[in-house]
Chain A
Amino acid sequence: MNEKDKLEDLFEYTLDMFLKSAGKDHAEITQFNRWRDGIVDANMYTFEVPHLHAQTPQVEVRRNSGEILDLICFASYNYLGYSYHPDVVQAAKDALDVYGLGATGSPVLNGTFDIHNILEKNLSEYFKRENLGTSLFSSGYGANVGVVSAYCHKGDYVVLDRSSHASLIDGAILSQANILMFKHNNVEHLEKILNKIDYENSRILVCVEGVYSTDGNYGNLSEIVPVAKKYGATVLVDEAHSLLVAGPGGRGVAEECGVLDEVDMIIGTFSKSFGGVGGCLIADKELVNYINYYARSRMFSCAIDPGVTGGLIKALELASGPDGDQKREKIKENAKHLRSLLRDKVDIGTAHSWIIPVIYGDEKLTIPLSDYLQHHGLDISLMMFPAVPKNRSRIRAFVTSEHSPEQVEKGAEILLNAAKEFNFLLD
């Protein structure tokens, strides 16, 4: 087999193929590394590429080869640009000066600082509902895993949208509850599943998301939440990609759909529109008090570091005022602008959020296309089977409020050139 054939052979593989091997040896590790090394040796490895400064719309990255690339960034979840906002950075520095580098312990023990309490209080008040509390986690993943596994137990039911994030699924597995999945956003299928459960005598948690990042579409909350309530289920909405961005006040898709008061648990992530790291549960105080002790991912993790916490408080303050209103308007304008440049030229699906998929189809294109996009000036995220269906592999453009119109236009130009080069322009 010549070098070209060997490389093309590597493009055939998808990550699920290295998931697990039969037999005593961990052959999946050997085979995965063989695949990874092949891509690295061909200088086509675009993952884990170090960024050389803050996640602004224009970034510099260093490839494995040592090559420095100057790219327009549509890969970051920094939707409102708060990760590098001068006031947010200053607030983080101020907190760092006072509290030091790390929290050095579990939030239940010594790890809680007064700024954690301030962030909790501000988040609870932001939602303008009586008796709300907030529980902080050191990651968004930890929030979902901890909340679901603490709230549900053996014999209970966790009912998940089929497109749910891994953290919700992992939380459900950890809870040892019965796991049931309904077709993505399909309220009829959800109802069918709920009907099969002895719902009058069972504890049921229905987990959905505000914005699903594979398609960029909204969760069908206006239909799903009432149906879940009809069957006596508790409703958890993960607003990871939508908190501070969706809804008139930035309170997420539940606010935008008019069902916020019906939602029992709101999960937020600080690594996206807040520009930091961490996660939270916003729910009734009694529930929050319980989760604080029984969510193992919280109890047995260090609290969010003080510098980040200081920055998060400032980001929330900015986002809940006029700055947030302007940024929310701008991100939607930018998304609309990018969509208008791509629509009818490439398949961008039907969603209307700030996550815009560009479907290129064949998963075998993923590695060369990703390499092409970086070498032609774009930092962008690609997604392939099994995360998305066969022949529906996609580029995902994460639009932010901070992109200039010129950056959006240049990004679209690069994407359309790639579509021509890799043959996924629409006829």
Chain B
Amino acid sequence: MTSNNNDFLVWNFDFALTTFYEVDAFQLETLIPPQLSLQEAAPGVGLINVTAFNFVEGQLGVLPEFQELILSAIVAPDLRRGVPSAAMFVLSLTSTCQEHLDHSHDYYKLPIVEKLTVSLLNKKNHEINFEDGEGKIAQINNCAPIIEYDNSKRYFQAFTKDGDDVLISDVFIEAPLFEHQENGDTGKLYEHPFFKGIEVDDPDVINFLQMINEPGSAGKQTYFKPTKFV
């Protein structure tokens, strides 16, 4: 787990819920740059990742507490940099905080969409409910009956696009983590511009894996400034 630069920001959070869903790989392929390739769960089965964070007050020194929702396609990582738990090409980012959205666009070059208007977190039940002016985006909940957290430091890679360039960032997440692949109801993703290009309102879109960071714990996301991927 290494990083190639020292230009990073640390984001503190006290809640995170990540769900990976199986979707048609053909749809996803059209959304990622040609330099990247999908990591498939099975032939023709691509994976998306929908992650919600609750960042605590004081990020960037000034921001209030806010919530973020981020959508990615799971792609093959750049193993020259290290071996991540997963690599993601970011497709959409939204947040309850406009300053955060502007910063994410400028600093991380992330593809932002409209600011969230409704953001309900039920941390105790590991449930989120987000919508914006366009309507409902996602209601997601944990579906594992038993949760056992384990202290964890995970390395991820985040790809994004800046014009024709593909950029890559190293991301480290430290927080007590529970990961599972239980079958069960994890809520609903809605047809919404946030999911543009992916048919999420399909009963065959099923959850593949969930990662839950312990609510109330001092989670830390170390997110490096992106560099050009070559």
CA distance A101 to B163 in the complex (A): 62
Task: List chain B residues, Cβ under 8 A from A16.
Answer: 39
Within 8 A of B (CB), among A136-181: 162, 169, 172-173, 179, 181
Cβ of B76 within 8 Å of any chain A Cβ, yes or no, is yes
Q: Which of A21, A35, A162 contacts B80 (CB 8 A)?
A: A21
CA distance A20 to B229 in the complex (A): 16
CA distance A27 to B2 in the complex (A): 15
- B83/A179 in contact, CB under 8 A: no
Q: Look across to chain B and name the residue whose beta carbon is closest to the beta carbon of A25.
A: B80
CA distance A67 to B63 in the complex (A): 61
- B76/A22 in contact, CB under 8 A: yes
Cβ of A118 within 8 Å of any chain B Cβ, yes or no, is no
- A27/B43 in contact, CB under 8 A: no
Task: List chain A residues, Cβ under 8 A from B75.
Answer: 22
Task: List chain B residues, Cβ under 8 A from A21.
Answer: 76-80
Within 8 A of A (CB), among B162-216: 179-181, 209
Q: Mark A314-330, 1 if CB is under 8 A from B, else 0.
A: 00000000000000000
- A390/B179 in contact, CB under 8 A: yes
- A22/B37 in contact, CB under 8 A: yes
Task: List chain A residues, Cβ under 8 A from B76.
Answer: 19-22
Known A22-B87, A389-B181, A391-B180: A162·B79 in contact at CB below 8 Å = no
- B179/A391 in contact, CB under 8 A: yes
How many A residues have CB within 8 A of the partner chain? Answer: 27
Within 8 A of B (CB), among A9-48: 13, 16-23, 25, 27-28, 30-31, 35
Within 8 A of A (CB), among B128-173: 159
Q: In the complex, what's the smallest C-beta–C-beta distance from B78 to chain A, in angstroms? A: 5
Known A169-B43, A181-B42, A391-B181: A31·B83 in contact at CB below 8 Å = yes
- B77/A22 in contact, CB under 8 A: yes
CA distance A392 to B179 in the complex (A): 11
Within 8 A of A (CB), among B32-57: 35-37, 39, 41-45
- B78/A23 in contact, CB under 8 A: yes
Known A22-B229, A389-B181: A27·B45 in contact at CB below 8 Å = no
Within 8 A of A (CB), among B13-45: 35-37, 39, 41-45
Task: List chain B residues, Cβ under 8 A from A22.
Answer: 35-37, 75-79, 87, 159, 229
Scoring B83, B84, B229 by chain A CB atoms within 10 A of each residue's CB, the highest score goes to B83
Q: Look across to chain A and name the residue whose beta carbon is closest to the beta carbon of B78.
A: A22
Within 8 A of A (CB), among B64-87: 75-80, 83-85, 87
Task: List chain A residues, Cβ under 8 A from B78.
Answer: 21-23, 27
Task: List chain B residues, Cβ under 8 A from A35.
Answer: 83
Sorted nearest first, the 10 A-B pairs with minimum C-beta distance are: A21-B79, A389-B181, A27-B79, A20-B76, A27-B80, A390-B181, A22-B78, A31-B79, A179-B43, A22-B76
Chain B contacts to A: CB under 8 angstroms? 35-37, 39, 41-45, 75-80, 83-85, 87, 159, 179-181, 209, 229-230
Other CB < 8 Å A-B pairs besides A19-B76, A20-B39, A181-B42, 10 of them?
Answer: A17-B83, A17-B84, A18-B83, A21-B78, A22-B87, A22-B159, A23-B78, A23-B80, A30-B80, A162-B42
